[in-house]
């Protein structure tokens, strides 16, 4: 007969005392989160013990594997080619997934992408996509598998039966101050990604004021852990370290970011957004085996944009998932706010700082995000045409435009914008957007 599962308190005590847990103990913890055989206070105690005592690479790999296997896993084995996804650790104005997935798919690499919703200052790909009228992100795993096989790409949310342990543990981490724990971050990200049937993964690990990892050293530590654990799971993984001091692109807010993503697919996106998208996409093409070097991969992506193939692929995705394709050609069909307000510059000079977190909080003031999972968002709300660091500005010229439904939301957002943007007499030194690659 199989041995009885260890008591939760015994496993918690072993981690509390700094011991490395066995695979069986980690599996018992994950099973307890999945079937509710562990009380929430026991799960919370375990999360805090992991935060305080850490996990070895082997423990983190075992935790990731157990969470991945806590539910169903997508089967994309019938889809030809190397399946590659991308994951970002979250930032402000980070709409990269929306143009990136169809670009890469148009180049012949299947992209099965499962994304999340925005919470706090960080926006969510699902919320952005759902601002397209009719767009469905809640496909079943069977629909997901079918769409990837048929058109080479699907952009969906986490299904109820995919890595269900993560759903429970993530909610507890959010309320127990254990979000920043690297082993838990690794297991949360990778359990979902590895369960979606991919062969390879490119990570965008962000650092700076608008990222969860504030310093480059913290981001590098997380990136190295993610790459190591992903490879332990048998996948090809690499990570880019990208700066998130100012918003990525010029628009922050769901429909506004979709509009900017469409501009990107036309080749007219802001230079920083295009740079990060092409950089991530080039690594995806190399891992996908369709091209050997990054320079050639970059050219292939640009051709997919210039030829219209990437935009056509996005139309296919939107149509397949029930969205209004007309909104791609006419972005005025996306949700529109009833008021747009310009914020004038108080002086003349050069933009020396655009604080990403401040801009994100201003967007939240306008209704573009949610403080709690159950909160509703306004898809039309947000900020557009945000100035970029290094640009010259004249007195009275717009720092940005606020898009809002409701006069009561304006003052707080306006004040935050003015506090978040600094102007100097001299142009600031340029900070590289991509700080390194973890191979």
The burial class, CB within 10 Å (0-12 / 13-18 / 19+), for 405 is middle
b/e sequence 302-333, b meaning 16+ C-beta within 10 Å: bebbeeebbbebbbbbbebbebeeebbeebee
Q: Within 13 Å of residue 420, how many CA atoms lie on the same side as its CB?
A: 27
CA distance 410 to 416: 10
Asked if residue 105 lies in contact with residue 153, where contact means CB atoms within 8 angstroms, the answer is yes
Strands (E) in 236-331, as ranges, are 236-243
Nearest to 201 by CA among 179, 178, 232: 232
Backbone phi, then psi, for 357, in 5-degree steps?
-65, -40
**β-sheet bridge partners, residue 239:** 203, 438
The DSSP 8-state label assigned to residue 420 in this structure reads H
Asked if residue 55 lies in contact with residue 186, where contact means CB atoms within 8 angstroms, the answer is no
The burial class, CB within 10 Å (0-12 / 13-18 / 19+), for 1 is exposed
CA distance 279 to 205: 13
Q: Which residues contact 148 (CB under 8 A, 6 or more apart)?
A: 76, 79, 83, 110, 111, 112, 154, 197
CA distance 193 to 211: 20
The DSSP 8-state label assigned to residue 81 in this structure reads S
CA distance 98 to 247: 16
Q: Which residues are catalytic?
A: 87, 166, 173, 188, 192
In the numeric block, which tokens belong to residue 259? Answer: 């509009």
Nearest to 115 by CA among 162, 67, 46: 162
Nearest to 228 by CA among 220, 217, 219, 237: 237
């Amino acid at each position: 007969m199989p041995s009885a599962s260890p008591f939760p308190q015994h496993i918690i005590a072993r981690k509390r005392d700094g011991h490395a847990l066995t695979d069986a103990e980690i599996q018992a913890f994950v099973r307890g989160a999945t079937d509710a055989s562990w009380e929430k206070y026991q799960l919370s105690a375990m999360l805090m013990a992991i935060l305080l005592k850490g996990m070895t690479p082997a423990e983190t790999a075992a935790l990731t594997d157990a969470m991945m296997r806590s539910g169903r896993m997508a089967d994309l084995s019938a889809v030809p080619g190397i399946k590659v996804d991308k994951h970002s650790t979250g930032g402000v104005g980070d709409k990269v997934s929306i143009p990136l997935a169809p670009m890469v798919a148009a180049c012949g690499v299947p992209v099965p992408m499962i994304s999340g919703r925005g919470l706090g200052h960080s926006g969510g790909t699902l919320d952005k996509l759902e601002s397209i009228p009719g767009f469905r992100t809640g496909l079943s795993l069977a629909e997901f598998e079918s769409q990837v096989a048929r058109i080479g790409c699907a952009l969906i949310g986490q299904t109820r039966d995919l890595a269900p342990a993560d759903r429970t543990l993530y909610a507890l981490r959010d309320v127990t101050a254990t979000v920043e724990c690297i082993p838990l971050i690794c297991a949360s990200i990778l359990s979902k990604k590895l369960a979606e049937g991919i062969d390879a993964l490119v990570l965008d690990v962000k650092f700076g004021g608008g990222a969860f990892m504030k310093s480059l050293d913290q981001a590098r530590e997380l990136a190295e852990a993610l790459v190591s654990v992903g490879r332990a799971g048998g996948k090809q993984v690499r990570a880019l370290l990208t700066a998130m001091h100012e918003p990525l692109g010029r628009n922050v807010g769901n429909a506004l970011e979709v509009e900017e993503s469409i501009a990107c697919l036309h080749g007219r996106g802001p230079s920083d957004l295009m740079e990060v998208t092409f950089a991530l996409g080039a690594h995806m093409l190399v891992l996908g085996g369709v091209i050997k070097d990054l320079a050639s991969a970059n050219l292939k992506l640009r051709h997919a944009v210039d030829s219209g193939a990437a935009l056509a692929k996005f139309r296919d995705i939107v149509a397949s998932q029930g969205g209004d394709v007309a909104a791609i050609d006419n972005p005025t069909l996306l949700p529109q706010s009833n008021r747009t307000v310009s914020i004038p510059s108080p002086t003349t000079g050069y933009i020396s700082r655009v604080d990403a977190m401040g801009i994100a909080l201003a967007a939240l003031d306008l209704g573009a995000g949610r403080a709690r999972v159950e909160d509703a968002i306004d898809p039309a709300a947000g900020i557009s045409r945000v100035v970029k660091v290094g640009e010259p500005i004249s007195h009275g010229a717009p720092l940005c435009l606020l898009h809002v439904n409701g006069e009561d939301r304006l003052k707080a957002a306006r004040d935050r914008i003015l506090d978040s943007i600094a102007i100097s007499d001299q142009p600031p030194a340029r900070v590289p957007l991509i700080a390194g690659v973890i191979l």
